[in-house]
Every structure is written in C-alpha cells, then in structure tokens.
Amino acid sequence: MRILKLSALLLVMAALFVMAGCIDNNSTQTSSEGGSETQSEAPEVEEGEEVVNIGYSGPLSGPAAYYGERTLNGLTLAVEEINNNGGFEIDGQTYKYNLVSLDDKYLPNETAANAKRLLQENDTPIIFSPHSGGIKAMQVFNEQENFLIGAYTSEPAVTEAGNKLTVRIPPSYDGYLDPFTNYAMENHGKKMAALPTASQYGKDWTEALVPYWEEQGGEVVYNSSIDFSKDTDFFTLVTNALKENPDVLFIGGPSEPTAKVAKQARELGFEGGFIVMDQAKLDEMKSVTGSFEQLNGSIGVTPLTYSDYPGTDAFIEKYNEKYGEDPGSEAGYHYVAMNVFMEAMKAAGSVDDPEAIRAHMQDGLDALPEEKQVYTVDEIGENGGFSTALRLAAVENGEIVTIDVEE
Amino acid sequence: MDILTQQLFNGLTIGSVYSLVALGLTLVYGILHIPNFAHGALYMLGAYVTLTMMLLWGIHYWIAMAVSVLVVGLLGVLMDRLVFHPLRHAPPIHDKIAAIGMLLFLEAFAQLIWGADYRTMETPYGQVIDIFGMTATTQRVLINIGAIAVMILLYLFLKKTYTGSTIIAMAQNREGAQLVGINTNRVAMLTFMISGGLAAIAASLSAPINLVFPGMGHLVILKAFVIIILGGMGSVPGAILGGYILGFTESLGATYISNDYKDIIAFLLLVVILSIKPKGLFSREGF
C-alpha cells in the first residue's frame, strides 16, 4: 500500500515537472513575442526551403528578465523580417531562420546546459547570449562542439581569451574609460565614489575604471557594490558613499535600479555628476527619475533613440510598431548582428560551418545594406569583437548632448 | 554624529519594512507550523495591485493600498482554502512543497500579466524634508509611522478582541482551541487574510523607494525568514524586534564596518543569538 502511494506521488511529481516544463516553454514563447503569436513554431516553409535554427539563451525570468526580453526582441524582429522577405539563398537553396529561445535565469551554468540542449535538439550553428557569465561558460566547450557564440557583452575578456568562435557584438568598455574620466574630471572634479552593480560585469568595470581614474590624478573615496537583487533600499549605501563629499558618482547596472540610486543620491543632497556604466541607458533612466534634470552632469553611452546611424530611424519605427515601446541598444545590436550573420552565411556559402561563417564575418559586415545599419559596424577585429565608433552622451541642462570620440 | 543619525533613520526605515513582512510570515507560522514560502509572492502582488489601481484608474495612493490589502488578503484566504486546507492531514513536507509551488506560480503569473519590466510607483509623498539635520523623504517617514501604527493595531487586535484571542488560542494549541468551540477553519482563514494584508501594506509602503518587478519578493523574503528564526518562530514581538535588529545591523554595519560584509554581520548576529537562545528571542509557543 505504501509503495503504491509512494509511486503515485512520484508519478504526480513527474507529471508536475513535465507541466512545469510546459509552463516554462510557454512563458518564453509569450515573452519573446509580447503575447501575440507563438514564436518557437517553425516558420512557414514552402517546398524546397530549409530551416536553420538559431539558438538564444538569456534571462527570461527573474530580476533581469526585462533585459533578456529586449535582447530577444531584437533577434526576433530580425528573424521575422528575413523570413517574411522570403528567407535567403545559398547556391540556389532557400533557407529560413527559426529562433529557439531558452531561459537561463542569468545563471552561467544554465546557459551551458541550454547550449548543450540547443545543440542536441536543434543543431544550432549560432547561439546568442547576453551576459558575460553565460558566454564564458559556453566558451569552455564551443570550439570542441563547434558552434558560434553571439556574445552580447562589453566585457573585453570575452574576446581577449582568444576563442576562435566568439563574436562580441557591442564595443568593449575599455574604450569608455578615457572619455568618461576626462569628461567627469573636467566638469566636476577629481573625487569619485564608486557604487557599481554587484555582478561580475560591474566588478570588472570597476576594476578597470578605478586604476585609470587614479592614474589620471583622481581619488577614489568610496568603493562598494550594490546588489540589486538583495537590497530593498539604497539609502544606507548612498549615505555612506556621500560621506566624503565626492564630486562624481560611478553607478551602473540595469537602467531602472541605477536610476533609483541616482535619484536617492540627489535626495540626499548630491550635486555632482554621474559616470554611468554602459549597461544602463540614459533614456531608460529618465523614466524612473521623471526628467533629465536629476541626471544633469551624467556621462554615459548614447541611447539608441538619440543615435543617427542610417538604419536607426527605420528600426525604431519597426520596433515601436511591434512592441509598442522605444528600443534600447541591446535590441538594436542584436538586430544588426543577426543580419550580419545572415550576410556572412551567404558569403561563406554555408549555414552549418561555424568556422567558415566566422571567417566571412567581415564580408558580412561589408554586405550589410544601409537601411539595416541600426549601428554602423566598420570591422570585426582579429579577436572577434565588432568595432563601432564610440559615441557618448552627456546630460547637460536637462538635455542629452551627444559627444563624438576621436580614436 | 550627523552620519549616525542618518544611518539610524535608514535602519529604522528598512527595519520597518522587514518587520511588517516578517509579521505576516510569523502569524501564518503560528497557525500552520510551516514557513509560507509564498509570502514573498504575496508581497510582490501587493505592490502590483496598488500600482495597477493607481495607474489604471488614477485612484489615490491610500485608497489603492486599502484595495490592495483586501485583494491580497483574499488571495491569502484562497491559498489557504485551495492549497493548505486540503493538505492539513498530510505530512508537513507537503505544505512546504505546495508553498514553493505557489511562489513559482504567482511569480510567473505576475510576469505574464504585468510583464518583466521594472516599474516605478509615484506617490504624492516624494518631497525631500530635513529633520534634525538628516535627510528623508515624506515617503520614508510614512513607512516608519505606518509600520508602527500597523503594529500597534495588530497588537491591540490580538490582545484585546475576542477574535484576536482565538488566533492566539489556536496558535497555542489547535486541539484545545477546537475543544473550547473555536472554529479553526475560520481562524485559519482570518490569519491568512491578515497575513496577506500585512504583506500588501509592507509592499505598498516600500515600493515607492524601490521598484516594482516580479522578482521583488526575493528582496525581503529571505530576510524575513532570518527574522522569524531570530525572534522565535511564531512570535509576534519576536518578528517586530527581529526586523528592527536586522535593519539596524545592516545600516550600522555597512557604515562602520564594511558594506561588503553587511550580510555576514547580520548572519553572524543570527548565529550568536541562536547559540545563546536556541529557540529565538521569544521562544514561547504562540505569542
């Protein structure tokens, strides 16, 4: 009797897990589509057409879910557009894309497991991931298992490791150190307090910026990270950071909590400037602070909506039509990357040979039509990093001012 | 000196939020004798309901909060009826599994309805004010006053009213309470109602100083568990005191020792208190 009960329980548990799996899949589908039609279904294929699966593993639930969704939206938009235009052709064979997205909850180990699953079940030549931890986890085995990583992170270490099958999509944050430091020192002063996010990315950013700041004659009066997934209130931390009257606050992380930190610093009477890590976007921060006034004196990366690359306006319009909001740079970069990968596949004459695709990335960049250039990427470096001309934005008198950086 | 008062105030604010969440948790523990893991999800839903009221119908903050207390309280009752009540004869582990299941379900549910984005709750109380040389916003003062008012009301309710005493009676001895004619089902539902309401109040008060998002329950729930262990499982004064102890340790620890170690300090304190009083500060069963 007992055994019967036990086995019944196990059966129910198994059924629950299966159901949980279903729920999981559904939520990734709906989130990727903003609730309209289902996404992971194969595209409409006419006779003679073949489907190429593209993998994605990112945070689609948990605190970083919003970020994950926006990266996936960029890919979805690109894939749908390519498919609706009849796919692409290599040697007379027409191909269409099918995007398979899995949730990794921002955890590197889950990304690795997802990547294995994508390879086994869907045979994906390219897997995108929008966080450095997951990318590094995949780099452990991507050369053996032979797939390309579409790495959306500004972490320079991802490409410095010399992985042959990694393409880093956004510019590395190395390039920001000098202009950020110069701007903040010229406009505000030499005393900086650092309040970065507690992620690996935030710590690496801080470790790069702090020595550079001191090299330029600056002083770091406070340095401690904020864990946005654990702290309910930032007042304590911000109070401590402001104790030494810094001229500049170095903040960063997801846009919205970062903006909250900035707002609380203003409430506590801080009047200096902010250096904003590249993960946070000034326009998204504005939605929390209410106006740019509170962010006066900030220096950060240019929000996509303030950029003027040839394809930017068209992209913003398309994105708005589909998702009902303005896109951020993560959506823009993913859109560009997906299109570049397609051009590279055409140039390589193969959809399933990652090495050949990687070797033809430069051709892909050159072939990218102007109207798709949400960002203009000039070249791909030896190590696999896209190089985009840096454009920065500062907030002055309640308005965004873009600043060009000479190389 | 200046920084000390400021940090004491910060500790008081955060402690108030922790206490309110821990109170709801400890009440349900007294009745069910299981930790209700889904309490964090109720907290999150409380914030979302208030926010939705305010944005969708432009209802005033306080009225929206009252509606939220009612909605989340009823949700707590529903949770008891649909999940915990049918499990009352099952081994305790089933309740725990069910609670975790509810947590996952409610979080996914919130993400489905409201989306994963961070939202801000704007209240009419954003002004910065200066009290005795320290900086605060009206909202922060409200958190402190609101929390203390709720605690006093709860205390009076439990100690001075007949209905309140039935809750205490049931927490002390379930069979005994049944024998003297207390309707235990009704009391269990009432407790869930209060617990959900407390979560909604805590969330609505604290949401304006942070953000509203599906994962926001995690910010407080782990700490609330620490608090009720520290204060004694099921003890109301324990939850209040524990909440403030944790709040002050965090803010003062971060200031005078190190911010990076503030969680370690809080947990070290837990270890020390538990080695002296293994059952928590107020170890008496019930209240």
CA distance A374 to chain B (A): 24
In a domain, B225, yes or no: no
The torsion defined by the Cα of B20, B21, B24 and B30, in degrees rounded to 10, comes to -110
| Per-residue pLDDT tens digits for A83-108 | 999 889 888 889 999 999 999 988 88
The yes-or-no verdict on residue B197 having pLDDT over 90 is yes
Output b/e per residue, A291-313; b: 16+ Cβ within 10 A: ebebbbbbbbbbbbbebebebbe
Residues in chain A within 8 Å Cβ distance of B13:
233, 235
Q: Give the chain A residue nearest B13 (alpha carbons).
A: A233
Percent of chain B predicted with pLDDT > 90: 40
Domains, chain A: 43-172+311-388 (3.40.50.2300), 174-277 (3.40.50.2300)
In a domain, B256, yes or no: no
| Per-residue pLDDT tens digits for A7-58 | 555 554 554 444 443 333 333 333 333 333 334 556 777 777 889 999 999 9
B250 CB within 8 Å of a chain A CB? yes
More confident residue, A66 or B63: B63
In a domain, B222, yes or no: no
| Per-residue pLDDT tens digits for B161-185 | 999 999 888 888 888 888 998 888 8
Tell me, what's the pLDDT at B69?
95
Tell me, what's the pLDDT at B282?
82
Residues in chain A within 8 Å Cβ distance of B10:
233, 235-236, 239
| Per-residue pLDDT tens digits for A200-241 | 888 888 999 999 999 988 888 988 888 887 787 888 888 888
Mean pLDDT of B230-234: 86
The yes-or-no verdict on residue A3 having pLDDT over 80 is no
A229 CB within 8 Å of a chain B CB? yes
A30-49 residues touching B, CB cutoff 8 A: 30-31
Tell me, what's the pLDDT at A389?
78
The yes-or-no verdict on residue A72 having pLDDT over 80 is yes
Q: Give the chain B residue nearest A254 (alpha carbons).
A: B118
The yes-or-no verdict on residue B74 having pLDDT over 90 is yes
pLDDT band at A166 (very low <50, low <70, confident <90, very high): very high
**Tokens 């330029």 belong to residue:** A216
Mean pLDDT of A354-369: 90
Strand-pair partners of A140:
none
CA distance B172 to chain A (A): 32
Q: Which domain holds residue B101?
A: 18-217
| Per-residue pLDDT tens digits for A266-306 | 988 888 899 999 888 888 888 888 888 888 889 998 888 88
Report pTM: 0.82
Chain-chain contact of B259 with A240 (C-beta, under 8 angstroms): yes
A242 CB-side CA count, 13 A: 24
Estimate the crossing angle of helix A312-323 against helix A65-84, to 10 degrees.
Answer: 110
The yes-or-no verdict on residue A115 having pLDDT over 90 is yes
**Tokens 């407080």 belong to residue:** B220
In a domain, B236, yes or no: no
In a domain, B125, yes or no: yes
Between β-strands A148-151 and A126-129, what pairing exists: parallel, antiparallel or unpaired?
parallel
| Per-residue pLDDT tens digits for B30-52 | 887 878 889 999 999 999 999 99
In a domain, B120, yes or no: yes
Mean pLDDT of A330-350: 92
Tell me, what's the pLDDT at A39?
45
B124 CB within 8 Å of a chain A CB? no
| Per-residue pLDDT tens digits for B236-257 | 888 999 999 999 998 888 888 8
CA distance A241 to chain B (A): 9
Q: Which residue, A176, A105, A221, A139, is CA-closest to A393?
A: A176
Chain-chain contact of A267 with B135 (C-beta, under 8 angstroms): yes
CA distance B233 to chain A (A): 23
In a domain, B129, yes or no: yes
B249 CB within 8 Å of a chain A CB? no
A246 CB within 8 Å of a chain B CB? no
B36 CB within 8 Å of a chain A CB? no
Amino acid in the structure at residue A406? E
In a domain, B1, yes or no: no
The yes-or-no verdict on residue B152 having pLDDT over 60 is yes
Residues in chain A within 8 Å Cβ distance of B219:
229-232
The yes-or-no verdict on residue B146 having pLDDT over 90 is yes
CA distance A232 to chain B (A): 6
- The total of structural domains in chain B comes to 1
Mean pLDDT of B65-72: 94
Contact B131, B66 (CB under 8 A): no
pLDDT band at B284 (very low <50, low <70, confident <90, very high): low
Chain-chain contact of A230 with B263 (C-beta, under 8 angstroms): yes
CB nearest to B10's CB, from A60, A62, A235 = A235
Chain-chain contact of B135 with A269 (C-beta, under 8 angstroms): yes
